[in-house]
Structure 1
């Protein structure tokens, strides 16, 4: 074999091996070929449409919070305190549920967050609403277009030194433009507060220690029973309901007061509350030619209640001696 030919063959073979090695990926190389990239993003629950904040509830974390009040408390520009809803920076707020003006704040507690479809906050309501209206909150439920019987029940148990229980039951029957409902709520709240305080007073070089202790227990039981109907068709809506609220409370305050090393003075205060109220309400609303609005509200309420207080004290405490020293 010709030596030149042999060297030329080795050169070609070496070049082929080198080129192949350069195209092979090193096992620990940071260079990889991506065949496909998929990017997923979750749409925000709230978005701004013009001057309206629109919150879509299904598919978001808001759908698992509890009831409508829990959802509203998490939405921007809305504040919920003691079951009262307000809009930051706005005074007069109107709330509509499925196109019907809300008549009772208990309605928000009785709507499950999983049944909410959409919440719209109109920051500039416009001429369609009263001139005194600063903001409008429109709530749409997922059950709005479902006819038939529905029932929901919510039970909450809480412990803060004492056990508290709240249970809400909601029954409704919807047929075409009519909605018949019966709601009930029972709230047993057993609060307890206890502790002691000690204060040192100095007057003209004389030091006096004044102390007190308290043990306050306030178990209360309140209830709501409400039944009525709603009718809505187009711009016309009407409805009526009857509501009964009983209340039963027992307040007990026991504690002691003492000055220096004198025997402690014990006090006991017992207060009992028994009350109930009745409310009958009727409303009618209609809009003509998109600018004339008729609105009527009529409420009839009767409330009765009585309370009794018993107070007593035992022990001796030389309070007069203190006044003589300070005098």
Structure 2
């Protein structure tokens, strides 16, 4: 035994002191294009004689690292669409230095034909769309860019990833928590946009999709800035103005942003409700007509300090003010078994304010040797107040005045720490995230039968995750696992409610495999996730809408569990995606009779037992002279059966979508964009989308003085046809809503930029999911 132990010890010592080449080596370098611009997504393939050994791609800085155990003399082939292939022998130390690729061109008489890179390519589990150098760079703002990115749709002014809902959006790794920030990011500063429809373990368990915006490298020192003003009409006048200033000297950058948005929104919609109660059938016709005035401001001040190539720190403070006032009337009729019971009109005045809204972020980004470190800390606090006054005049019943007041306070602290390190043929990321938040809600009303409410939610979320990525032959494999411990405490009038308070301990796995077969890139992804209800969905306070309509949340809601499998592929200028999801305990809205006689309607949140969901998306982009068209098509289908009036109803009709986007380069360097979108009827949860909304948008862009000053004229929803109507079906109550609000708008934008540079701020944010729940 002693001899065996000695032999084993000697073997361990020999393994520990063996030359590095026996354990593998890293082949690394940097790839540049024209004007010494870093090229990302360049293919790097290693060969031993003519035999394939390993491969990889470059990152945003043009850098690549390919690990191999091969001990033979290696050669490398560097290839990229639009550039000449480059073959070179690999030095013995593996450091290939800087490699400069030359553009590919074929001379045919007086005609030069150049290959061009596809506008959208697949990278792992993401679709990456190039903005720099394309017509998208002239779109205006990041908002204007995103609505023209494949898989992103404009749903009534809200950005969504097709079939995945609202995404988490990042700019240079930093989470965007105020979407107004996107209207202050210029499209000319954007390099590319990544859309991830099945995020891995590095993201919170309830993030269903991610959009990552990456801007171009910075240029120069000194002052830079952008001044932008948008003015136009959507029934009423509206304006948006922003100022972005930066001062940069060496590695230090100080920045200040200010934005102001002012205007009015016109709304006009009709709700027809049918309630089956013990005393018969009630029909309510409720028309809501009015306008909302808004006056919003936000300001930000911060700095970032690039200490050297390996260390960077920064911080910023942001404060916002939101003030919205709504005035309108609600004429209504109530019928019982086809007999008119009453007619009444409510004059409504509502004022909501959020002031102040404090938000601060600190970050450190750096590396020690091969170890990468990314740390973020965030603090958020704001208070909002809403006051509503309803003056109701009835033909037969009693007149009454109803006053409600809601005061909401939110505060959150979060931090996130991520370590990254090269590992074998790839790398590993290990991280932790902690979020502590509190939401309080005070509701006061003079209406008897509802009562006041005072509730509070305290929640802490501790998460740890690991992700490993490896390049094995032609396959890129990523495996991730996330653990979350969530403690949720619910209080009413200061008293802890044990039944509504919960503790969760969950593991969430993820897996993605990507490869390339010929000219086809493809990937298969899996993830397990959860979606915890927002605080508004959990709030058990009954809110008054009118004397026959009330709304409430549900403190007993369970989190939704979701399993998703997704396949993606790209071939030349075409891409496709197929996705299947299984939802358990999904959250939806249901209705039920309310009140002593059951003739009122209560709208509330509830859990679905389960739901199967499938989606498909396909798209392509083309170049025909001065015309650059894009065509996208998508389909969403669910399998769901729920009772309606006591009878099981299948809610399986799919929804189809078609997009046609066009960019045309006119004489005098004028760009014309004409975009159209069409959607069909179909089911989403227990809601029937009852019409076929479509729109046509048009935009003219002209730049002056090398695009330092630009003018954009844009018309949206030219035919006023984008309104979405729906029917909500539940067992005892059905609601039909028709939308008559004006959708057509016209906007003139003037923009001036000087010494334009990229934001160096590298903070990614922490507690990003909790911010969205607020």
Q: 1:268 aligns with which of 334, 337, 347?
A: 347
Q: Any idea what SS the aligned residue of 2:188 has?
A: helix
Go from structure 1 to structure 2 and tell me whether the alpha carbon gap of 1:309 and 1:54 turns closer, same or farther (over 3 Å shift).
closer
Q: Does 1:38 align with 2:111?
A: yes
Q: 1:178 aligns with which of 252, 264, 278?
A: 252
Summarize deviations over 1:134-154 as a string: whole Å, max 9, x none: 978361325x12212111122
What residue in structure 2 maps to residue 314 of structure 1? 393
Summarize deviations over 1:144-172 as a string: whole Å, max 9, x none: 12212111122223433222222221111
Go from structure 1 to structure 2 and tell me whether the alpha carbon gap of 1:265 and 1:172 turns closer, same or farther (over 3 Å shift).
same
> Once the 2 structures are TM-superposed, how far is the Cα of residue 64 of structure 1 from its aligned partner?
0.9
Go from structure 1 to structure 2 and tell me whether the alpha carbon gap of 1:94 and 1:117 turns closer, same or farther (over 3 Å shift).
closer
What residue in structure 1 maps to residue 300 of structure 2? 226
What residue in structure 2 maps to residue 305 of structure 1? 384
Given that 1:266 and 1:315 are in contact with CA atoms closer than 8 Å, whether structure 2 keeps it comes out as yes
1:255 and 1:92 map into 2 onto residues whose CA distance is 34
How does the TM-score come out when normalised to structure 1?
0.66
Q: Any idea what SS the aligned residue of 1:256 has?
A: strand
What residue in structure 1 maps to residue 327 of structure 2? 252
Go from structure 1 to structure 2 and tell me whether the alpha carbon gap of 1:76 and 1:237 turns closer, same or farther (over 3 Å shift).
farther
Bigger RCO (CA 8 Å, 6+ sep): 2
Go from structure 1 to structure 2 and tell me whether the alpha carbon gap of 1:186 and 1:163 turns closer, same or farther (over 3 Å shift).
same
What residue in structure 2 maps to residue 290 of structure 1? 370
What are the residue-to-residue correspondences of 1:208-227 with 2, within 5 Å?
211-227=285-301
> Once the 2 structures are TM-superposed, how far is the Cα of residue 290 of structure 1 from its aligned partner?
2.4
Go from structure 1 to structure 2 and tell me whether the alpha carbon gap of 1:136 and 1:261 turns closer, same or farther (over 3 Å shift).
closer
Given that 1:268 and 1:311 are in contact with CA atoms closer than 8 Å, whether structure 2 keeps it comes out as yes
2:281 and 2:369 map into 1 onto residues whose CA distance is 80
> Once the 2 structures are TM-superposed, how far is the Cα of residue 95 of structure 1 from its aligned partner?
3.5
Q: Does 1:279 align with 2:359?
A: yes
Gaps of 5+ in 2: 1-107, 399-596, 600-774
Kindly name which structure, 1 or 2, has the bigger radius of gyration based on alpha carbons.
1
Go from structure 1 to structure 2 and tell me whether the alpha carbon gap of 1:172 and 1:84 turns closer, same or farther (over 3 Å shift).
farther
Go from structure 1 to structure 2 and tell me whether the alpha carbon gap of 1:78 and 1:239 turns closer, same or farther (over 3 Å shift).
farther
2:270 and 2:212 map into 1 onto residues whose CA distance is 46
Gaps of 5+ in 1: 1-34
Root-mean-square deviation (CA), in Å? 4.6
Summarize deviations over 1:239-280 as a string: whole Å, max 9, x none: 111111111111223132245788842211211122211223
- The number of equivalent residue pairs is 280
Report the structure, 1 or 2, having the larger strand content.
2
Given that 2:193 and 2:211 are in contact with CA atoms closer than 8 Å, whether structure 1 keeps it comes out as no
Summarize deviations over 1:190-248 as a string: whole Å, max 9, x none: 111225577899xxxx9998644331221122111111111234242211111111111
Go from structure 1 to structure 2 and tell me whether the alpha carbon gap of 1:124 and 1:231 turns closer, same or farther (over 3 Å shift).
farther
What are the residue-to-residue correspondences of 1:19-98 with 2, within 5 Å?
36=109, 38=111, 40=113, 43=116, 44-48=118-122, 55-76=129-150, 95-97=170-172
What residue in structure 1 maps to residue 750 of structure 2? none
Given that 1:262 and 1:318 are in contact with CA atoms closer than 8 Å, whether structure 2 keeps it comes out as no
1:121 and 1:273 map into 2 onto residues whose CA distance is 34
Given that 1:151 and 1:171 are in contact with CA atoms closer than 8 Å, whether structure 2 keeps it comes out as yes
> Once the 2 structures are TM-superposed, how far is the Cα of residue 287 of structure 1 from its aligned partner?
2.5
Report the structure, 1 or 2, having the larger helix content.
1
Go from structure 1 to structure 2 and tell me whether the alpha carbon gap of 1:176 and 1:214 turns closer, same or farther (over 3 Å shift).
same
What residue in structure 1 maps to residue 214 of structure 2? 139
